[in-house]
Chain A
Amino acid sequence: MEPSSASLDWAVVAQLSGSDYPHPEPPPCQLLSPHLGPIPYRPDQIIEFPYGLPAFEEQRSFLLVSLQQVPLVIFLQSVTSPELLFVTLPVTVIDPHYRLELTPEACQLLRLPAEEPVQIGRHVLCLAIVTLAHEQPPTANLLAPIVVNPAARMGIQFIQCDSGYSHQHPLYRGLEGG
């Protein structure tokens, strides 16, 4: 495996509207991702996951990285373990009518104001982790999306119990069928 960083036009996703890179000041930190190559970043671009992710509870710091070649994909890159990477897609790309119903506890963790209903794309990024196992059709985890409040730089993986969404939603069917 060789990082082909020279050809990668990456950006650390910082705002809901896209990326704030390039920034007037050069990023002071860099991590070397086996998949994405060297990623310069600023500490204020790190998304903090106070409980990590299920099965990766010790992983608390991630960067959201996008590549120009695959504009819809957002990579969830661990800062503390560069070899840990997740491929994600915004849930609304997979299902335009996706419903996110955060609990008050989840809103508090994400430091979202309690008075307004949370809207995907307005208050939070909502991303489905894509499983790309070797020689198996890709699936997306709609049961437990990654929910990020970019304003507070806080994230959680929120398990939508009772939602009826699948943890193995077939990607092709969802994308073709809408």
Chain B
Amino acid sequence: MLVLRRRAGESVLIGQDIEILVLETGPREVKLGIQAPAHVLILRKEIRLAEQQNRAAADGLRGRSLNDVLEQLRHAWPNPPSQHSLP
């Protein structure tokens, strides 16, 4: 992975037509401005992680019996805390 140090107001270029500008830096987060052609998809990575995890969760159940699925859950979690109840 390429690692660069940039200050607020500086930017990096990716390819011919993508610019990532550091707008603000703070102790916990940075504010970025992104200039890119309309066809380039820009996502917070968490959204992609949620998509991947949802697919994995749905695929993990496909073609399996409910008992098989619940058995796997019980195996990981033999003694559910009794003080909890729905919700």
Seen from chain A, the residues whose Cβ lies within 8 Å of a Cβ on chain B are 1-4, 8, 13, 16, 18, 35-36, 53-56, 66, 69-74, 83-87, 90, 92-93, 120-121, 125, 129-134, 137-138, 141, 143-144, 157, 159, 161-162, 167-168, 171-172, 175
Q: Which residues of A contact B73 (CB under 8 A)?
A: 70, 73, 87, 130, 132, 138, 171
Q: Is B58 in contact with A56, judged by CB distance below 8 angstroms? A: yes
Q: A-B pairs with CB below 8 Å: how many?
A: 128
Residues of B within 8 A of A (CB-CB), count: 36
Any chain A CB within 8 A of the CB of B67?
yes
Q: Which residues of B contact A172 (CB under 8 A)?
A: 76-77
Any chain A CB within 8 A of the CB of B35?
no
Do A35 and B76 form a contact, CB below 8 Å, given A144-B50, A168-B53? Answer: no
Any chain A CB within 8 A of the CB of B39?
no
Q: Is A125 in contact with B87, judged by CB distance below 8 angstroms? A: yes
Pairs across A and B, CB under 8 Å, 27 listed? A1-B65, A4-B65, A8-B66, A35-B61, A53-B50, A53-B54, A54-B50, A54-B51, A55-B51, A72-B85, A87-B57, A87-B73, A90-B86, A90-B87, A121-B87, A125-B87, A129-B53, A132-B69, A133-B56, A133-B60, A134-B64, A159-B47, A162-B29, A171-B76, A171-B77, A172-B76, A175-B81
- Residue among B51, B67, B69, B86 with max Cβ neighbours from chain A (10 Å): B86
